[in-house]
Amino acid sequence: MPRLSSHFITVDQLGDRLADPNLVIVDCRFRLNDPTWGETQYQQGHIPGAYYLHLDRDLSGPVQQHGGRHPLPDPEAFVSLLSRLGIERNRTEVIIYDDFYCAFGARFWWLLKYYGHDKARLLDGGFPAWQTAQSPIATDIPGFKPGQFEPNPQPQLVVNRQDLLIATDNQRLVIDARDGDRYLGKVEPIDPIAGHIPGALSVSWKQVTDAQGFAQPPEAQQALWENLSPDQEIVLYCGSGVTACVNWLSLELTGHHNLKLYPGGWSDWCSYVAPSFDAKSP
């Protein structure tokens, strides 16, 4: 765990710091097929003091014809939200958890990074690990705190579809984080067209954690990217800019920092291919 501690915190470590006034805990549990599920679970029980952030409402912007199923949130609204949570850039430590292999927690972790806040870690093993340890559970909803988040946006961390289309060299590597069968176009449960961005490689986000949601040891993380130079420019995408952030987390752990996210992902890319794409579809 010490070699992962830059990005993860253990249940025991968090349990010892629940009273820390400089700590903000955020619950990001969610299900794509039931958008109300995570918030309902939060209301039934969560880590004491934790706030709940909803993928669609808080960590994404409005869906339009293009831009993907989970566009980045409106900057002003997102910064205002961080302020209400009492987060001050690079002063407050933020601990994030979900119960789905870091999928949704990593999205919030990445958004904090985009706005210049690096003092954030994920709870190793997520909420299931907290429950298994019989750690305290709360049902009360904490009130907002006075705060002023001063953003420092990092636009160089993002690319869009046009950036990928006009690339003229082979220095940029594009990695698809979705399951292999979706990458191969064998199945497509969400978007209107199956397949992947031409030239992209497949590295499933599910390899970053084990079956219980704990981060794989550093050696296993390194093995995922052993053929890539730390200086290699890498563009990460998935269906809609969520699980690609789990791969980003792993790459950072193994010393890769020349990283960019294509937030629209396959859902944005294929919206230009499918004339009948309905922005309201799931």
Kindly list the distances between the CA atom of residue 210 and the CA atoms of 48, 98, 100, 129, 236, in Å, as whole numbers in the listed order.
26, 15, 11, 12, 21
DSSP label at residue 263: T
pLDDT at residue number 146: 83
pLDDT in tens, 110-130: 999 999 999 999 999 999 999
pLDDT in tens, 219-274: 999 999 999 999 999 999 999 999 999 999 999 999 999 999 999 999 999 999 86
Where do the domains of the chain lie, and which CATH numbers do they carry?
Answer: 2-132 (3.40.250.10), 155-269 (3.40.250.10)
Q: Active-site residues: which are they?
A: 238
pLDDT in tens, 168-197: 667 789 999 999 999 999 999 999 999 999
pLDDT at residue number 218: 95
Percent residues over pLDDT 90 in the chain? 92
CA distance 157 to 211: 30
Segment holding 43, helix H or strand E: helix 37-44
Full-model pTM:
0.95
Burial pattern 269-280, b for ≥16 Cβ within 10 A else e, equals bbbeeeeebeee
